[in-house]
């Protein structure tokens, strides 16, 4: 490895939510501290911060495939293509009660993606997959190419996607088996109150007499009686109607797509971020 692992780990934090929020406030102090820490300040003096971020991203992609880079490349190479002209929505770090999904996409079906890098341990994976299978139509695990066999031992209904050593190619090693069963407890943990009220009303054409204290349990009981096919459709539509800004960079500046998704940035905020990185230079 051409660069020290601790340096790579430290520089990978350039793409964290907290760092991007600082940049949006014109605060470049944290970036400068990293450059000084690794004697890079003189070498980078006069460079735009955008150039620095792009160079560090390429270095991470080649030498330190952490979750951010793998997730960002999968988003760029695969998921953004799925959106196309269809009404679809992508979620980052979607909370599902006891588990948090790395990525989820809702279009005609619901798909969830769990990412395991070479840096990760797999001890929690079985429990995560059990939760995902209770609510998503298709479950995928994204793993390094060299670890495919070790992950094939998990539930054969779960798809395996591999990526190569420089994350330039993703390949489906095993297809997902579609599921439409939905666990009501998991579903109710995901839905907002307005969403479960709408699902109840849409199916029954009315709402029972409820109040703020009992509406959750009453709706839960009614929703549990909706046929799985219909409930699956209603769940997908509820997710697609959430206020998520899936406006992505195409090929230029797509190093930032994952963190912009994580922060749910609007298009004008994304443009503002790039403008700030372009116009500020290392002094």
Q: Mean pLDDT throughout 261-271?
A: 95
> Residue 84: its pLDDT value, please?
57
Contact indicator for 83, 249 with CB cutoff of 8 Å: no
Residue 133 lies in a domain: yes
> Residue 1: its pLDDT value, please?
43
Count other C-beta atoms under 10 Å from residue 10's C-beta: 14
pLDDT in tens, 182-192: 999 999 999 99
Between β-strands 159-163 and 170-174, what pairing exists: parallel, antiparallel or unpaired?
antiparallel
Answer yes or no: do 266 and 235 share one domain: no
Number of domains in the chain: 3
Residue 161 lies in a domain: yes
Q: Which residues contact 227 (CB under 8 A, 6 or more apart)?
A: none
Answer yes or no: do 232 and 155 share one domain: no
Residue 82 lies in a domain: no
User: d(Cα 76, Cα 80) in Å, to the nearest integer?
Assistant: 6
Among residues 174, 199, 229, the one where a domain terminates is 174
Q: Which tokens sit at 146?
A: 């060299």
Say what the pTM is: 0.92
Q: Give the chain's mean pLDDT.
A: 93
Q: Which tokens sit at 169?
A: 């190619």
> Residue 123: its pLDDT value, please?
77
pLDDT in tens, 232-244: 999 999 999 999 9
Q: Mean pLDDT throughout 201-216?
A: 95
> Residue 119: its pLDDT value, please?
81
Greater confidence, 281 or 250? 281
Among residues 148, 174, 200, the one where a domain terminates is 174
- pLDDT-derived band at 118 (thresholds 50, 70, 90) equals confident
> Residue 39: its pLDDT value, please?
92
Answer yes or no: do 198 and 236 share one domain: yes
User: d(Cα 179, Cα 253) in Å, to the nearest integer?
Assistant: 36
Among residues 149, 174, 199, the one where a domain terminates is 174
Q: Which domain holds residue 212?
A: 184-240
> Residue 261: its pLDDT value, please?
96
Backbone angles phi, psi at 166, to 5 degrees: -115, 15
Answer yes or no: do 219 and 152 share one domain: no
Q: Report the side by side order of strands in the sheet with 170-174.
A: 89-96, 99-106, 110-115, 138-144, 159-163, 170-174
pLDDT in tens, 84-99: 556 789 999 999 988 9
Answer yes or no: do 170 and 120 share one domain: yes
pLDDT in tens, 39-85: 999 999 999 999 999 999 999 999 998 999 999 999 999 998 877 55
Residue 179 lies in a domain: no
Answer yes or no: do 235 and 252 share one domain: no
Greater confidence, 109 or 121? 109
Q: Which tokens sit at 126?
A: 């079985």
Residue 76 lies in a domain: no
Nearest one of 282, 259, 283 to 273, comparing CA atoms: 259
Query: What are the CA-CA distances from residue 62 to residues 2, 24, 58 (Å)?
Result: 10, 27, 6
Answer yes or no: do 97 and 161 share one domain: yes
């Amino acid at each position: 490895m051409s660069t020290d692992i601790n340096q790579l780990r430290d520089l990978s934090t350039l793409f964290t939510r907290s760092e991007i929020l600082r940049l949006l406030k014109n605060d470049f102090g944290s970036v400068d501290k990293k450059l000084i820490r690794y004697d890079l300040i003189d070498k980078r003096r006069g460079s735009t911060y955008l150039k620095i971020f792009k160079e560090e991203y390429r270095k991470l992609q080649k030498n330190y495939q952490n979750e951010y880079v793998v997730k960002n490349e999968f988003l760029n190479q695969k998921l953004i293509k799925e959106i196309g002209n269809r009404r679809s929505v992508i979620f980052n770090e979607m909370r599902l009660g006891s588990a948090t999904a790395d990525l989820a996409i809702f279009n005609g079906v619901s798909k969830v993606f769990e990412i395991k890098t070479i840096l990760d341990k797999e001890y929690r994976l079985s429990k995560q997959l059990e939760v995902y299978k209770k609510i998503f139509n298709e479950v995928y695990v994204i793993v390094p190419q060299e670890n495919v066999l070790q992950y094939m031992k998990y539930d054969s209904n779960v798809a395996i996607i591999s990526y190569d050593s420089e994350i330039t190619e993703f390949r489906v090693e095993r297809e997902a088996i579609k599921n439409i069963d939905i666990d009501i407890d998991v579903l109710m943990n995901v839905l907002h109150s307005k969403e479960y009220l709408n699902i109840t009303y849409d199916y029954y054409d009315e709402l029972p007499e409820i109040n703020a204290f009992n509406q959750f349990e009453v709706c839960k009981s009614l929703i549990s009686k909706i046929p799985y096919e219909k409930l699956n459709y209603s769940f997908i539509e509820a997710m697609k109607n959430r206020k998520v800004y899936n406006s992505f960079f195409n090929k230029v500046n797509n190093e930032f797509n994952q963190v912009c998704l994580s922060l749910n940035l609007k298009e004008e905020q994304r443009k503002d971020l790039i403008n700030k990185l372009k116009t500020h230079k290392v002094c």
